[in-house]
Structure 1
């Protein structure tokens, strides 16, 4: 993306924080940002539909819209993806719920995903520049939640680790959809893959949780 005059949308309900973001952005040399700020879902929806933005910062915890159609940042992220397909999206939030973060990555696929406690002003500048240059920027907490493990050349991702964790806590497979944004069928497929991967024998009654603990996966 050519970095010159860019329309930048900040969606953040705390005005002091939103203005702090604006000041940080204005201090980035070589770029002239035309910055709009929305402090709630209604303001955000209006700006998204009225103006083409090149990049946006989105908080997840926001006052809901008057018609209750938009209740959180995820709804606005989906709207942005549908209304302005070329807009680069950076989610900047204090939310650290594991399943929610993974669901957002799966459904919205933001170019940037930052936890507020992870970053300072320089990190935010770097994230914005990376995203504008078609790179992804995830803060350390997001990276730790999405990291992948490879065993015998086969990748175990975070959904796999979540399955193992909840099984180790005594949850039944049929109840895992309460914690993991996957269907029962998808979870069963992953369990079968994990049993094949972790078992060194053809043992029919292989204990998946014990096998995972032995390898230090949980």
Structure 2
């Protein structure tokens, strides 16, 4: 059988299983394919890229994910269910996980690091370039942050939504789109302010912060 025929066969079988809508058979079929063929299947069927990753066993999904182009990886992570994202990122080899994360915005990295178990989180922060005992290594990703153009109403909604999973809610951190700290504001300031007041109006710019690589 030629390589071209084999590739067509994989696509045809995939199409047939989509019509049948049998997840168990699709799982077995995808798990039997070569990783390189699965990568091509994803590139030829972008609308099913997340479905393919989700249907594979986690070990096979990890092996496939790490060879995909970064743009495709980002699209998949964005669309995956949170529990699948956690499974996939924890399964990835540390070097491959770091290669994926290091080109993402800080805000996105912070959210994805939350999905890692403690040991994998420690390894990943180290590989991302944060020395032992640096601020970046010691900072918990579990804090409440908002943006300067948010209103007080939006801030309070954010606190209600994510505050229960945060280690610190007495102080709310203001960041920019790059994930850089602009200010910190005590929660009482938001409670006492009018709902339509912007965060920018409450900022005093006196925050004391360290760079993530500082000791």
Normalised by the length of structure 1, the TM-score is 0.38
Normalised by the length of structure 2, the TM-score is 0.38
Structure with the bigger percentage of strand? 1
Structure with the bigger percentage of helix? 2
Larger radius of gyration: 2
